[in-house]
Amino acid sequence: MILLFTGIILNIIGIIGVVIPALPGIVLNYISLVLLYIIKGEEALSLIILVTFGILTLLVTMLDYILPLLGAKRFGASRTGIAGAVVGMLLGIVFFPPLGIFFGLLIGAFAGELIAGKDQYQAFKAGMATFLGSLTSIAVKIILALVMTFYYLWHLF
């Protein structure tokens, strides 16, 4: 019984973790499904569903790092701008958690583009594209986290 309620707590923290980068987010939601499988077995969810959610968790976790950079590249960011975005993201995580990751991406991409010799408009455009890529990533993670939470709660009882 305690493990089942642990799963509920993991789901709540997982949803919060989608927005706060310091927490593993959807990985916690997935762990709750693994707990449900261990406790209730195939009657709660099949191994195929568990593996499918595992693959989706892995893909969405990887996309979390890739989407902001793809957004920047799509809107003409240079390698220097993308490098600036990565440096800004890392500095933002370390010095200004939890929201520093987003603003670090934006500021880092902007600074990188200015260093690359682009004008302020182009630099801002690349920074915004990186920022919007981050927001898209969060939206995808929220959807998956909510689906896994719903699936957990539906099959809990």
Measured CA to CA, the distance from residue 77 to residue 98 in angstroms comes to: 25
In the structure, what pLDDT confidence band is assigned to residue 143 with cuts at 50, 70 and 90?
very high
In the structure, what pLDDT confidence band is assigned to residue 21 with cuts at 50, 70 and 90?
low
Here the contacts of 35-42 (C-beta below 8 Å, separation 24 or greater) are: 35/3, 35/4, 35/6, 35/7, 35/10, 36/4, 36/7, 36/152, 36/155, 36/156, 38/3, 39/3, 39/4, 40/155
Residue 68 has pLDDT above 90, yes or no: no
Least confident window among 11-20, 97-106, 141-150: 97-106
In one letter, which amino acid is 153? L
| pLDDT 10s digits, 96-131 | 877 777 788 888 888 988 998 888 888 888 878 877
Q: What is the pLDDT of residue 147?
A: 96
Measured CA to CA, the distance from residue 117 to residue 135 in angstroms comes to: 27
Residue 17 has pLDDT above 80, yes or no: yes
Ramachandran sector of residue 79 (left: φ over 0; alpha: ψ -120 to 50; beta: rest): alpha
Domain boundaries, the chain: 2-156
